[in-house]
């Protein structure tokens, strides 16, 4: 009996993007010579999995090529660093113990288990690099106006992923249970506690009591390894699916060009190989940082000991730390933190709603308000971070 090819549905329609089509896609020859074992294996799998459909989709997919195309890599780099987080995180989970033994288990991982220092350092460095990559990705996507129709949900899911990334950072930071982890978490939650009405119950719930203690560690562990990953994964899938559906956004300067003058490269293999090269660079950067600057462990958290002199938050919270310090100077007492929380909330809300600022502009060039807002946010972030370090 002659088997009909299983491909009955239409191949996935290309995203309605305005980019010029790339060079004609290469012929989709199945692998192996006709009748060969490899060919028959491919055909067997193809009938069941629809491989040809996937290959057609991959062959059709293109990535725009222009002077700002470098910034396209940063989403992929963030994804790679997240994958490193998952893998090293699972490895740490093999020896880490939440609860009263947390500090001892981290000490054991860092100083006793073979290459434990490397796994832990890779996790910490990759976490920091991931936050950095996510910020670069966000600001570059914002400045390229990638959030415009039809990509609003890509932006919104991205903001959610950013917040979860910071949540991962904040919750993971406590798990080592050393002095800086203890005080960092204490101060971080204390700030949220200054929110009127809801602040205190929320802070108590987060801490599992009126103060940071072993309950806090246990629930931060649950957040860090179960809750946040459960929330992160589906949003990440949505984000990637939307990127795949709509294709890469092109900046207004590219859009202004006539279609015939725009260039693009096939996603597979051209862009993917470059993407993988970036991943390799990221891997090497992690390896270099983790090997030459391994993460250390401070002395065990002790609620009866004073905070160590010169204690400061991780760089990605330095900006908000400094902003709160400035507001604290302006408004004495809890008013400073309250004002700070209000400003952060407002800023985040505006950031989230960014796609709605320039809904009507055809090419985005006139949407100066959004550009100024992004540049202002970037400037505030950089200036207050540098200021924070100078003021230490």
Partner 1 sequence: MSLSNEQRVELPVVEAPEHPARRVFLKAAAGAVGCVYAGMIGYPVYRYLESPVEKAAAAAAVSEVSLPKADALPPGSALMFKFGAGPALLIHQKDGSWSAMSAVCTHLACTVQYEPERDRIFCACHGGVYDPKTGANVSGPPPRPLDQFKVAVGAGSVTVTRG
Residues engaged in binding partner 1 (CB under 8 A): 66-67, 91, 94, 112-116, 118-119, 257, 261, 283, 287
Q: How far is the CB of 313 from partner 1 (least distance, A)?
A: 30
CB 354, CB 155: distance < 8 Å: yes
* β-bridge mates for residue 63, sequence order: 265
Nearer to partner 1, 8 or 23 (CB): 23
Q: How far is the CB of 263 from partner 1 (least distance, A)?
A: 9
Cβ neighbours for 134, distance < 8 A, ≥ 6 positions apart? 78, 161, 162, 165
Question: 3-state DSSP: the chain helix, strand, coil percent, rounded to 5?
Answer: 65, 5, 30
Q: How far is the CB of 7 from partner 1 (least distance, A)?
A: 31
Q: How far is the CB of 157 from partner 1 (least distance, A)?
A: 31
Q: How far is the CB of 201 from partner 1 (least distance, A)?
A: 41
Q: Identify the CA nearest to 185 among candidates 207, 164, 155.
A: 207
Nearer to partner 1, 280 or 346 (CB): 280
Nearer to partner 1, 17 or 253 (CB): 253
Nearer to partner 1, 13 or 23 (CB): 23
Angle between helices 228-246 and 73-95 (to 10 degrees): 160
**Per-residue tokens: 262:** 């725009």
Nearer to partner 1, 113 or 265 (CB): 113
Q: How far is the CB of 237 from partner 1 (least distance, A)?
A: 26
- Using the 8-state DSSP alphabet, how is residue 354 labeled? G
Q: Sign (positive/negative) of CA torsion 103, 319, 205, 332? A: positive
Residue 113 to residue 134: CA distance in whole angstroms: 31
Q: How far is the CB of 306 from partner 1 (least distance, A)?
A: 36
What's the chain's length in residues? Answer: 392
Nearer to partner 1, 115 or 376 (CB): 115
Nearer to partner 1, 119 or 206 (CB): 119
Residue 178 to residue 174: CA distance in whole angstroms: 8
- Using the 8-state DSSP alphabet, how is residue 178 labeled? B
Q: Identify the CA nearest to 59 among candidates 34, 87, 32, 22.
A: 22
Q: How far is the CB of 257 from partner 1 (least distance, A)?
A: 8
CB 32, CB 38: distance < 8 Å: yes
Nearer to partner 1, 48 or 114 (CB): 114
Judged on CB neighbours under 10 Å (0-12, 13-18, 19+), 220 is buried
Q: How many CB atoms lie within 10 A of CB 205?
A: 10
């Amino acid at each position: 009996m002659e088997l009909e090819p299983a491909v009955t549905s239409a191949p996935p329609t290309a995203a309605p993007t305005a980019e010029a089509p790339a060079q004609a896609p290469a012929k989709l020859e199945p692998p192996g010579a006709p009748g060969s074992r490899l060919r028959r294996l491919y055909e067997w799998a193809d009938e069941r999995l629809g491989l040809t459909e996937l290959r057609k989709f991959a062959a059709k997919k293109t990535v725009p090529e222009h002077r700002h195309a470098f910034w396209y890599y940063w989403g992929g780099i963030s994804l790679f660093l997240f994958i490193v987080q998952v893998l090293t995180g699972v490895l740490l989970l093999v020896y880490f113990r939440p609860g009263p033994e947390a500090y001892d288990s981290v000490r054991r991982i860092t100083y006793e288990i073979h290459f434990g220092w490397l796994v832990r350092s890779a996790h910490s460095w990759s976490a920091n690099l991931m936050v950095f990559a996510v910020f670069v990705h966000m600001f570059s996507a914002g400045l390229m106006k990638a959030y415009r129709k039809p990509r609003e949900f890509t932006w919104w899911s991205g903001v959610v992923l950013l917040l979860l990334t910071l949540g991962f950072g904040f919750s993971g930071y406590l798990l080592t249970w050393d002095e800086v982890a203890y005080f960092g978490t204490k101060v971080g939650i204390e700030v949220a506690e200054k929110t009127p009405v809801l602040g205190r119950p929320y802070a108590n719930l987060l801490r599992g009591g009126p103060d940071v203690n072993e309950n806090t560690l246990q629930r931060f562990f649950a957040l860090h390894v179960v809750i946040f990953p459960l929330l992160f994964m589906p949003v990440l899938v949505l984000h990637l699916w939307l990127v795949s559906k709509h294709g890469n956004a092109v900046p207004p300067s590219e859009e202004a060009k006539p279609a015939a003058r725009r260039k693009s490269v096939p996603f597979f293999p051209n862009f993917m190989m470059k993407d993988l090269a970036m991943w390799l660079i990221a891997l090497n950067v992690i390896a270099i940082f983790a090997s030459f600057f391994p993460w250390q462990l401070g002395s065990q958290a002790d609620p009866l000991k004073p905070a160590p002199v010169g204690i400061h938050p991780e760089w990605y919270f330095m900006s908000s730390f400094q902003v709160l310090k400035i507001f604290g100077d302006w408004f004495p007492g809890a008013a400073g933190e309250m004002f700070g929380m209000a400003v952060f909330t407002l800023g985040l809300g505006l950031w989230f709603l960014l796609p709605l600022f320039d809904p009507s502009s055809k090419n985005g060039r006139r949407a100066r308000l959004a550009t100024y807002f992004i540049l202002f946010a970037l400037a505030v972030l950089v200036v207050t971070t540098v200021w924070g370090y100078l003021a230490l």
